[in-house]
Structure 1
Amino acid sequence: MRGLLYKDRILMLRQFRYLLLMDALFLVMGVMPGKGSYWAVYAELMLSTFAGARIRADEASGWNRYSRLLPLSGKTVVTTYYITTYVTTLLSTALYTVAALIVRYAVRGTYPVFPTVLLMVIVPSLMAVISIPLTLRFGSLKAPIVQMILIALMVAVGVTILGEGTNMAIQILEVNTALTATVALVVTAVTAVVSWFISIRVYERRE
């Protein structure tokens, strides 16, 4: 698995470096006071598209066929898809959290950071749990259709976020911050596990 994770890191740095640059730009816009923290959420939403993109890249390069000749189980291959996606988004979220807290302290701001961070964890996770099994199921031949569906979902979520979705999260959290955040994170974790199981089944059926 360590070798697969290394391959994914090289793939991201070489083929998807512009995605990382755009993510960094949106994070900076989200950190700046008065610019709208929703940009940080949108950055993670965009970064979550790497999940399906790297699967399509493996199919286009022929790696998916070559990997079946190696002593790798379907569970191992699929697990790396999820690990790479979640580690990338969580690292990006952690960077935003530190930067946002520093900026808020520097400008003596009172705006909340936690609701944005919570959305940055939940939104890309929900996108990943949809995109990974769908891309594995339909493959690169039908990838354009899957991509259109995912883009439509991204636009819908993006419009919600741009339409004061962050403020909505703040209002919900004000009711009971600990309970709301815990429930949201538990639901997100459960959907990720279910998606992981489904993806393993889909991958193994294609073998």
Structure 2
Amino acid sequence: MKALLLKDWYVLRKQVWSYLLIVLVWGLIPSLTLNLLAVVYGAMIPYTAMAYDQRSRWDRFARMLPYSDRTVVLSRYALGWISLSVGAATVAICQGVLTCLPLPAKLSANLSPGFVFAALCVGCLLLDLNIPLILRYGTEKARWVAILITFLTFASVGALNGLVNDAKTVAAAVLSLTLAGMLVLTIIATAVSILLSLKFYRENR
């Protein structure tokens, strides 16, 4: 799998630097919407990698290499998980630094680690939807997949903003249960998504 991820790095390295710059800027801006979007945005990175692969017919070539179907499919999820983790870590560090500095309160979004975790879960859920759809319909034949994922990305950020506002009025225990529920849902969705992706990938032989 490391070799597959290295291949994605060589293919996407120009876009990766742009992505890192965007995430860094969004992480530093005192805006909950941009901070949360910086985390969730990572779910869109595998779409770009898979689009390149399908244009170059990499999937056909990969079947001649000593990689199992499971390894190829999991490498797509691993790329998404890495992207989401980079976004979450960047936002957490940026906001943590801003909070520690003697700056006016308005220069910090006051984004707690719990909401970074919630954004990470939402990003994983988008990834769980994204990869099976692309494997089932392809990036060229189903451009609506990209439109759908983009729409859901921004919609999810709006929902997370609502969660942040609600957290100001609910008990910490209720918030903890909500985050725990999101974690359980993410784990179940990821397991189902991987099985579907394997099924669709094998059907495209």
Q: TM-score range by the shorter chain?
A: 0.7 to 0.9
Change (3 A) 1:170 1:58: farther
User: Superposition pairs for residues 148-159 of structure 1, below 5 Å?
Assistant: 148-159=147-158
How far residue 171 of structure 1 moved from its aligned partner, in angstroms, is 4.6
Q: 5+ unaligned residues in a row in structure 1: which ranges?
A: 30-34
TM, length-normalised to structure 1: 0.85
State which drifts further: 144-153 or 184-193.
Answer: 144-153
TM, length-normalised to structure 2: 0.86
Sequence identity, in percent?
23
Match of 1:141? 140
Tell me which amino acid in the other structure corresponds to 2:138.
G
User: Superposition pairs for residues 1-40 of structure 1, below 5 Å?
Assistant: 1-29=1-29, 35-40=30-35
How far residue 63 of structure 1 moved from its aligned partner, in angstroms, is 1.2
In 1, the alpha carbon distance for the partners of 2:175 and 2:200 equals 37
Q: 5+ unaligned residues in a row in structure 2: which ranges?
A: none
Match of 2:189? 191
Q: Is the 8 A contact 1:89 1:124 kept in 2?
A: yes
Change (3 A) 1:17 1:105: closer
| Structure 2 SS opposite 1:107 | coil
Q: Give the number of aligned pairs.
A: 201
Q: Is the 8 A contact 2:84 2:123 kept in 1?
A: yes
Change (3 A) 1:167 1:138: same
How far residue 131 of structure 1 moved from its aligned partner, in angstroms, is 0.6
- Superposed CA RMSD in Å reads 2.3
Match of 1:88? 83
Match of 1:132? 131
Measured against aligned partners, the alpha-carbon deviations of 1:5-32 in whole angstroms (never above 9, x if no partner) come to 1112222313443233222221121xxx
Measured against aligned partners, the alpha-carbon deviations of 1:111-151 in whole angstroms (never above 9, x if no partner) come to 45123212221121111011100011101332312222222
Match of 2:96? 101
Is structure 2 residue 81 aligned with structure 1 residue 69?
Answer: no
